[in-house]
Structure 1
Amino acid sequence: MNKPSQFALERRSLLSTGLALLAASPAARAQSGGTWPSRPVRIIVPFAAGGPADGLARMLGEQVLGPKLGQPVVVENRAGAGGVIGVAAAAGANDVHTLLFGSISMTIVPHLQAQPVGYDVVRDFTPLAQIASTPFLLVVPSGSRFTDVAALVAAAKARPKGLSAANSGYGTLSHMTAELFNQGAGAELEPVVYRGEGVLMPDLLGGQVDLGFLTLSSVLPHLRAGTLRALAVAGAARLPELPEVPILAEAGFPGIEVDGWQAMFAPRSVPPAAAARLSAILAEAMADPAIRARITSFGAVPASRPNADFAAMVPEEFRRWGVLVKERNIRVD
């Protein structure tokens, strides 16, 4: 057998050296998870600046992720289309240095649209950790004749669409919670669509609409002032702020549970080691009383669901809302 020439040996050596240098480059190491992150991290928030989601994302970036990762963390607001624009931008980036501060709406909106939204919540993202929840309550004006859920459901069954339910927008979680209530309780409430909770509140307070499934932060001042009455919490547990208000299951209507979750996601392409590191950092932060107090200050409830449980819940949420949209024939015009 002929021995390789000196030229061939040198060429082989140079090639091996080049491959080693390539493997050791920051980009290659970042893709493998070895030195991730190798540059600033971006968090896309699919909602406008100044809102609770934006505030939570910036707090996590500045107080948690930046110091732990050793890189600047930049929040980018990409609002519009019920969150679709921002979520699709995060999915399309396919960049291991781009994270998404998402919400439950990303599992609902795809079922409402006639055209593809530009992302697949199960295929395109790696759930890292739930950060917060937005509780929803069934509330009526203080002058309402209804003092419990059973009486309200009985009236709704006796006269389908005879009771009006204000919501903060067609396809929003406020609207979808009412639809879930219709399905679970066998009621048929008439939806009245507004552009936000602040816009609907005067009509609800004045009795022009009969009820609403609204966020804790929007109704709590009115509950304390005695101008609204809470009949139930549309969640799995009573709220510390309103310990006397039962959940719907306690009121006789089990299975009607909504968790208005907000969470951090990474692209599916993120290296497993990097995803595990991020999940661990966020889990540690969620156990910090100071971080939990900051979350509460944004009008949200700090999450207590383990990261693995949340990751398993996301595809189930996508399936559940898809079934509801189909069975209730809900579509955005």
Structure 2
Amino acid sequence: MNQPLARVNRRTVLSAVALALAAVHTGRGWAADAWPSKTVRIIVPFAPGGGADSSARVLAEVLAPKLGQSVIVENRPGAGSAIGVMAAAQSKDGHTLLMGSNSMVINPVLNPSITYDVARDFDAVGMVSAQPLVLVVPAASKIASFVDLVAEAKARPGTLTAGNSGNGTLAHLTAELFSIQTQTTITSVPYKGESALLPDLIAGLVSCGFLNLPSVIAHIRSGRLRALAVSSPAPVAELSGVPTLRSLGQPSLEVQGWAALLAPKGTIPKEGLARLEALLIQALGTDAVKTRFAALSVEPVVSGRDATAQHLKAEGARWQQVIKARGIKADS
């Protein structure tokens, strides 16, 4: 099974930054009619306020003066991000970008009626950010560790429940992957978003959940939820003492919620894509962006166009295996 977003080699990143910036600043200058020649739009396929939306707004503010044009964020939520992704795929104005996420590679596998193809319809610009999931249980639960959870799931197959933010979401698929990897059966319970799930989880009506860090950090700090593990490659500073799933012998459960910047296929000239890639790499390396991303509980991820395209392909294949193995279908 393909692995999630890997740690980035520092030397490789520095080399990529140097080469990318050199491509921007050397050779022929950018003519007046070079890309972009008008306002750039970043479509975010979610409602305002989430990680992808907030990351897009930070980048829009940072990139606008570098590009010499306004950069606006347009929210197009619905259908688990499919509406916004389709709108971006169909845009031919040459100045539209997409802030993509895990759902854009999951949806076409989950729902055959979705007609876009990530590799066919988009040019990758670069990765933007990554965010871990946190495996949590109610504070009153007798389950005190990951080992306890597996033991309980084996002892009482199907009786434990894993709440998630909706069918086919990253939280849902990660719980299903947990069942595959640990050879246990936990019943998935979908809710209409994490805000609807959290009261039941805190009250103990749901046994556990793999939830986004920003959604649960306050409840962990207040003692309403107990964190058993994080899905990131490295421990999370805000959750001192909470182990990674990899350190617990579960490298296949290393799952990251990610955001990536893409453009509709063939709509931005190669020189424009190279310039945008270079500016994105530069922005993600600044202390200002790192600080603002940290406030959102996300980490910048530096990855060029080719590596980003490969990552999206690997993610699609990874979740396709889980969806087929567990017989998951889109909501009717």
TM-score by length of 1: 0.85
Contact 1:42 / 1:76 at 8 angstroms: preserved in 2?
yes
- Structure 2 residue matching 1:299: 3-state secondary structure: coil
Structure 2 counterpart of 1:283: 281
Post-superposition CA distance 1:194-229 (Å, at most 9, x none)? 111111111111111111111111111111112211
Larger Rg: 1
Give the C-alpha shift of residue 58 in structure 1: 2.1
**Letter of the aligned partner of 2:180 in structure 1?**
Q
Equivalences for 1:261-276 in 2 at 5 Å? 261-269=258-266, 270-276=268-274
Contact 2:281 / 2:302 at 8 angstroms: preserved in 1?
no
Give the C-alpha shift of residue 300 in structure 1: 2.2
Structure 2 counterpart of 1:58: 57
Q: d(CA) in 2 for partners of 1:140 and 1:153?
A: 13
Residue number among 233, 245, 261 corresponding to 2:230 in the alignment: 233
Unaligned runs of 5+ in 1: 1-31
Q: d(CA) in 1 for partners of 2:91 and 2:306?
A: 25
Contact 2:135 / 2:227 at 8 angstroms: preserved in 1?
yes
Give the C-alpha shift of residue 258 in structure 1: 0.9
Give the C-alpha shift of residue 304 in structure 1: 4.5
Structure number with greater CO (CA < 8 Å, separation at least 6) is 2
**Letter of the aligned partner of 2:186 in structure 1?**
L
**Letter of the aligned partner of 2:155 in structure 1?**
A
- Structure 1 residue matching 2:241: 3-state secondary structure: coil
1:42 aligns with 2:36: no
1:242 aligns with 2:242: no
Structure 1 counterpart of 2:149: 152
After superposition, the Cα gap between the structure-2 partners of 1:34 and 1:318, relative to the gap in structure 1 and judged at 3 Å, is farther
Structure 2 counterpart of 1:123: 120
Q: d(CA) in 2 for partners of 1:181 and 1:175?
A: 10
Contact 2:128 / 2:284 at 8 angstroms: preserved in 1?
yes
Higher deviation after alignment, 93-102 or 163-172: 93-102
1:196 aligns with 2:204: no
Contact 1:91 / 1:267 at 8 angstroms: preserved in 2?
yes
Give the C-alpha shift of residue 34 in structure 1: 7.0
Structure 1 counterpart of 2:208: 211
Give the C-alpha shift of residue 68 in structure 1: 1.0
Structure 2 counterpart of 1:107: 105
Post-superposition CA distance 1:260-298 (Å, at most 9, x none)? 001111122022221111111000001001111111222
Structure 1 counterpart of 2:161: 164
Percentage identity across aligned positions? 47
Give the C-alpha shift of residue 240 in structure 1: 1.5
Give the C-alpha shift of residue 53 in structure 1: 2.3
- Structure 1 residue matching 2:120: 3-state secondary structure: coil
Unaligned runs of 5+ in 2: 1-30
**Letter of the aligned partner of 1:302 in structure 2?**
P
Contact 2:281 / 2:303 at 8 angstroms: preserved in 1?
no
**Letter of the aligned partner of 2:119 in structure 1?**
V
Q: d(CA) in 2 for partners of 1:212 and 1:50?
A: 22
Contact 1:45 / 1:102 at 8 angstroms: preserved in 2?
yes
Q: d(CA) in 2 for partners of 1:119 and 1:227?
A: 41
Q: CA RMSD in A?
A: 1.8
Structure 2 counterpart of 1:142: 139
Number of residues of Structure 1 aligned to a counterpart in Structure 2: 300
Contact 2:138 / 2:207 at 8 angstroms: preserved in 1?
yes
Equivalences for 1:57-76 in 2 at 5 Å? 57-64=56-63, 66-76=64-74
